[in-house]
Structure 1
Amino acid sequence: MTDGYGRIGRQDAPGLSALHERYDRWLTRAVRKRFGAQDADDVVQDTWVRIASLDLVEAIRHPKAFLLRTAINLALDRHRHRAVIEKSADALRRSGQAQSDQLEAVLLEEIVLGLPEPLRDVFVLSRFACLSHAQIGEQLGISIKTVEWRMTKATALCTARLSL
């Protein structure tokens, strides 16, 4: 039906060849005008392939309307297909991000729970309760210097475990 380049050959049904010769340029312009040049050639080619699969091309009473409606339907199908693919890709990215966030939270919890108790107490009060070093020292009954040392040690241990 078509040669290797998507052109309709002379050996095809005379109705299809005549239809192609008469309306191909018009159809290409109409599709480009409606949908832009990016997909126009593919939509037009798909339209001719769809028309070529019909048994009675000669029976088409309004060829321009039929060709344009076929091209519009194919272009809309392409658009819907792309939208479904993009939506699926977005959902996969979001679920992957959610899983990644959950894994990070579990990892952080394991690391914090793995700290020695004196370091863990200071770290939790500082990072999660948002207390100042002075407030932590007051609450735990230790000096600010001890709070600073424990915080430095806890942060170093967390960083070392995160980089494993």
Structure 2
Amino acid sequence: MSDVKELNPDAAASLNGLYRRYSGWLEKRLRGRVGIDEADDVVQETYLRLTPYLLEDIRHPKALLLRVALNLVRDEHRRLVRRDRALQGEAPILGTAADAPVDRLHLKQILQTMPPLYRDVFVLSRFDGMTYAEIALAHGISLATVERRMAKAVEHCMAQLDV
């Protein structure tokens, strides 16, 4: 049985009408913050987040659309900052305050010696908490490729740790 849910026809019509009416406005509002290409993606994701709502349930559509879109932009920015910090060894990667700085330094060195394709998948999974499916979708690769790269990344870590 599939876990894909059929969208209620009323909700689909409602969402379509909302999109046609406000997508251009929302994209213009976002362009200054994130750029043209990113604005298109945020607009699409915003409407996906609104699929459970019916148009008549939304009192202030512009306010809701802008709030959801800005939350998406903020969440993406935070994710990228966490990822960059992890790659640079600045984040508290190992999880507890008792972790020795030597361990963090060693982990940073391991990450820096890892091939970029493997490192990206590893960091997204282990530090950003993304699922393999989310990583595959974000990078436009198959789930099997994500699994293979993650296995290679873990293998690299194990080899560096002499385990």
TM-score range, shorter chain: 0.3 to 0.5
Between the two structures, name the one with larger relative contact order (CA 8 Å, sep ≥ 6): 2
Normalising by the residue count of structure 1, what TM-score does the alignment of the two structures yield?
0.47
Of Structure 1 and Structure 2, which has the larger fraction of its residues in helix?
A: 1
Normalising by the residue count of structure 2, what TM-score does the alignment of the two structures yield?
0.47
Larger Rg: 1
